[in-house]
Amino acid sequence: MSNPNGLKRSPSTVTLAGAGSPPPFPGLASSANPIASGIGQAVASFAKSLGWSQPPPAAVVVEYRNTGQVVVFSRPRLAKLPFYGAIMAICGANQTVEAAVFFEEEGKPGSIRAKIDPDSWSDIVHHIVKIYVVSASPPGMGR
Domain annotation covers residue 64: yes
pLDDT at residue 31 in the model = 74
From the number of C-beta atoms within 10 Å of its C-beta (0-12, 13-18, 19+), residue 128 rates as: buried
- Asked if residue 74 lies in contact with residue 61, where contact means CB atoms within 8 angstroms, the answer is no
Give per-residue pLDDT as tens, 77-88: 998 999 999 988
1 belongs to a structural domain: no
How sure is the predictor about 108, in pLDDT bands with cuts at 50, 70 and 90? confident
Render 24-90 in DSSP notation, one character per residue.
Answer: SSTTGGG-SSHHHHHHHHHHHHHHHHTT--PPPPSEEEEEETTTTEEEEEEHHHHHHS-HHHHHHHH
Find out whether 98 and 65 touch, Cβ atoms under 8 Å. yes
pLDDT at 25: 55
Same domain, 128 and 84: yes
Name the residue range of residue 121's domain.
59-135
Would you state the pLDDT for residue 132?
A: 93
Q: What is the domain count for the chain?
A: 2
The whole-model pTM stands at 0.57
Query: Is residue 66 domain-shared with residue 131, that is, in the same domain?
Result: yes
Residue 54 has pLDDT above 80, yes or no: no
Asked if 131 contacts 62 with a C-beta cutoff of 8 angstroms, the reply is yes
Residues 114 and 46 in one domain: no
